[in-house]
Amino acid sequence: MTNSSVEKGEKAKTIFTSGEVAALIGVSRITVNRWMDSGQIRGFNLPNSGDRRIPLESLLDFVRQYDLPLDLLRDVDGSIPLPRGLHLRAGDRRAVEIRAKFRVRLPDGSSFDSGEGFVRNLNAGGAFLSDVSLEQGVLPANPFVFDLELQEGALKGVKARGRPVRMSVGESAIGFGLQFEGLEEAARSKIERFVAAA
């Protein structure tokens, strides 16, 4: 729930339609209906109409079960109540275009591939890496992270490890929303100053 919702005493949404869940996660309503039919996400049908409804807790269980990032959840009504300790993307991102080199690393730390791309927006919590070009042209099927090094401008030399939380595929480009993990304090401070200077 946003602070303004709490201050105004508004009741947060706790039941969603399949269309609202589809919009929150970024998939089609048909996909959400399939997930309900297969039991991957719990919900119920309204009597007579058959319209589907999904409780917030079921949605959050689904997000946790499939290790989806909470920042996939986009507001339908200006707020989404999350259990204490969970949060959406922290802070605004600054629109940038910074060339970056990276390594794709597996959980054991081994290097799977390397490549280049552009950081298109940024804050100390994460970035969007676009126009990704991989040397081998293949991504691992297993979980992986990007070890980034920014190549130009005020942030040249800044290094960050980012876990992909979403992927965007265009006609000629691929991009990843990254959530930073274990960002060193010097890098965090430099990014925060850079974003604040916008």
Once rounded to an integer, what is the mean pLDDT over residues 99-110?
95
> Domain boundaries in the chain?
3-72, 94-196
CB 78 within 8 A of CB 67: no
Token pair for 166: 């979403």
CATH number of 94-196: 2.40.10.220
Q: Which residues contact 158 (CB under 8 A, 6 or more apart)?
A: 149, 150, 187, 190, 191
Cα(80)–Cα(2) distance, integer angstroms = 8
The pLDDT of residue 78 is above 80 = no
Q: What confidence score (pLDDT) does residue 144 get?
A: 93
CATH topology of domain 3-72: Multidrug-efflux Transporter Regulator; Chain: A; Domain 2 (1.10.1660)
Summary mean pLDDT of the chain? 81
What separation in angstroms does the CA of 164 have from each of 25, 58, 125, 182?
A: 15, 23, 12, 14
Q: Which of 5-9, 116-120, 137-141 has the lowest mean pLDDT?
A: 5-9
Q: Which of 108-112, 121-125, 165-169 has the lowest mean pLDDT?
A: 165-169
For 139-170, the pLDDT digits (tens) are: 898 889 999 999 999 999 999 999 887 787 87
